[in-house]
Amino acid sequence: MTPRSLFDKLWQLHVIAELDAQFSLLHIDRIFLHERTGGVALQSIAQEHRPVRHPELVFCTMDHIVDTFEGRGDDTLMPGGKDFIQTTRTEARRAGIRLFDVRDPDHGIVHVISPEQGIVLPGATIVCPDSHTCTQGGIGALAWGIGSSEAEHALATQTLRVSKPKSMRIHVDGALPAQVGAKDLMLFLIARHTAAGGSGHAIEFAGPAIRGLSVEARLTLCNMAVEFAAFTGMVAPDDQVFEYLHRRPFAPQGHDWEQALRHWRSLPGDTDARFHSELTLNAAEIPPMITWGTSPEHAVPVDGVVPDPSIAATANSRTGRERALAYMGLRPHEALQSLPIDAAFIGSCTNARLSDLESAARLLRGRKVAPGVRAICVPGSMQVRRDAEARGLHRIFLDAGFEWRVSGCSMCFNAGGESFGAEQRVVSTTNRNFEGRQGPRTRTHLASPATVAASAIAGHIADPRRLTLAD
């Protein structure tokens, strides 16, 4: 038998039919929706008198548009947001699918609660009309974002017509240094190989550094595969993943669990599996990273300087970098650690899990946010919030001067009604720094939770390694 990668195994397990030379028909194991796009898809198929084929395999949450303030309800800062929320609730109930509503104790961001609830499982296919669905590859699933029309097709048929991407393996040797996390690894990768480096590929992350990552860190890693232009990102499931999933609400139980384990253990790729392309990184070389521009590839070490656009490889790249500098209000060779900040944000589907909050809290303990800096922490789910509060982390954030919110996408993007101000400089754990992403003319610097915490304390972009050494 031809050696197969994890991706090849999952693809073959789900192919129903080869439609033509380019497209296959795949079975979809789970569908997740949110209120910004899901309600519309459900309403559309209802109007066409097409029922949801398997409502027990479809899940929905309110995360993109909802407010993240205590006591929230259907009212939202986003104009028209209440209609999205109420339409989604009506259609989800009509379809008979599981809805994590605004006040549900298990509410949270779609890509946080999917693994948290055991909805996503190793070897499963999962889709959602959201580009960061690739997050779930950290569990060993085949997960990708889809459009609204594809969501309608998946809801009505439990299948999708998909063109098989190429495969890529990214092997990471060694171990990440202290105060360097999965977010830094991805920013380093994208900066080195560009935001188009994974285009047309399903990526498998492998090697000692990847095996050494926690499950939550693997989810962060795969979350940003789409920022590398990849179809999806994946990590082979192992005992860490199985322990993480054990007794989750929607995970198999009892005898079914033992059967599932036997299947999951067969999923990692064969030793001699071939890939269309391969990249290798040395984890020991990766520092804390931060972006300076308006793309995740505009990233440098946190103690580095703004690069000169003139050294860009192409004219288009030079033009893009010049525009980014103008938008961000920066100059070539400017030291990033000298930049004062106006705000710090810890949240999003990238870095709002318990381990992310713990990473920030370790630096915040006994310290205060710098005067004039607005600092916000939005846990990725209500379960994350409860777990953090059980450990006393909320007191550390509040005592330091952070706002402590309920779950939701919040300041990840300004479509939810919240935003930072024009030309405000924000250090953020989110995944995108495009123009206007966190508010009209807001200047966003992407970083890890540790770097965001260190910067909030310093009042300027700061290296978390130095803060630790100062203790």
- CATH at residue 225: 3.40.1060.10
Do residues 426 and 350 both lie within one domain?
yes
259 burial level (CB within 10 Å; 0-12, 13-18, 19+): exposed
Query: Token pair 């198999």 is at which residue?
Result: 252
Average pLDDT in the 370-382 region?
Answer: 98
Domain that holds residue 186: 166-237+269-285
32 in the same domain as 87: yes
Same domain as 220, residue 73: no
| Whether pLDDT at 398 is above 90 | yes
| Confidence label for 471 from pLDDT (cuts 50, 70 and 90) | very low
Domain assignment present for residue 259? The answer is: no
Q: How confident is the model at residue 415 (pLDDT cuts 50, 70, 90)?
A: low
Residue after which a domain boundary falls, among 164, 199, 215: 164
Q: Give 308-350 pLDDT, tens digit per residue.
A: 998 888 888 899 999 999 999 999 999 999 899 999 999 999 9
Would you state the pLDDT for residue 468? 65
Residue 445 and residue 397 in one domain:
yes
**Residues 171, 159: one domain?**
no
Least confident stretch, 13-17, 298-302, 465-469: 465-469
The predicted-structure confidence for 276-291, as pLDDT tens digits, reads as follows 999 999 999 999 999 9
Flag whether 249 is in a domain. Answer: no
Per-residue pLDDT reduced to its tens digit, 341-352: 999 999 999 999
Q: What residues form DSSP beta bridges with 160?
A: 26
Same domain, yes or no, for 160 and 173? Answer: no
Domain boundary residue, one of 133, 148, 164: 164
Instruction: Tell me the β-bridge partners of 427.
Output: 344, 445
List the one residue out of 9, 256, 1 whose CA is nearest residue 124. 9
- Per the domain annotation, does 262 fall within a domain? no
Clarify whether residues 25 and 43 are in a common domain: yes
- On whether both 126 and 200 belong to a single domain, the answer is no
* 68 in a structural domain: yes
Residue (of 169, 190, 137, 180) closest to 280 by Cα position: 169
What average pLDDT does the segment 123-151 reach? 97
User: Which run of H or of E encompasses 31?
Assistant: strand 30-34
Report pTM: 0.97
pLDDT at 338: 85
Total number of domains in the chain = 3
Domain final position from 164, 196, 215: 164
For residue range 43-54, list pLDDT tens digits in order. 999 999 999 999
Of 471 and 246, more confident: 246
What's the mean pLDDT when you consider all of the chain?
96
Share of the chain above pLDDT 90, in %: 94
Strand 289-291, strand 299-301: pairing = antiparallel
428 and 303 belong to one structural domain: yes
**318 located within any domain:** yes
Is position 261 within any domain? Answer: no
- 303-329 b/e (C-beta count within 10 Å ≥ 16 → b): bebbbebeeeeeeeeeebbeebbebbe
Residues 136 and 185 in one domain: no
216 and 300 part of one domain: no
The pLDDT value given to residue 368? 98
The CATH number of residue 80's host domain is: 3.30.499.10
Q: Determine, yes or no, domain membership for 369.
A: yes
Is the same domain home to 160 and 181? no
pLDDT grade, residue 414 (50/70/90)?
Answer: confident
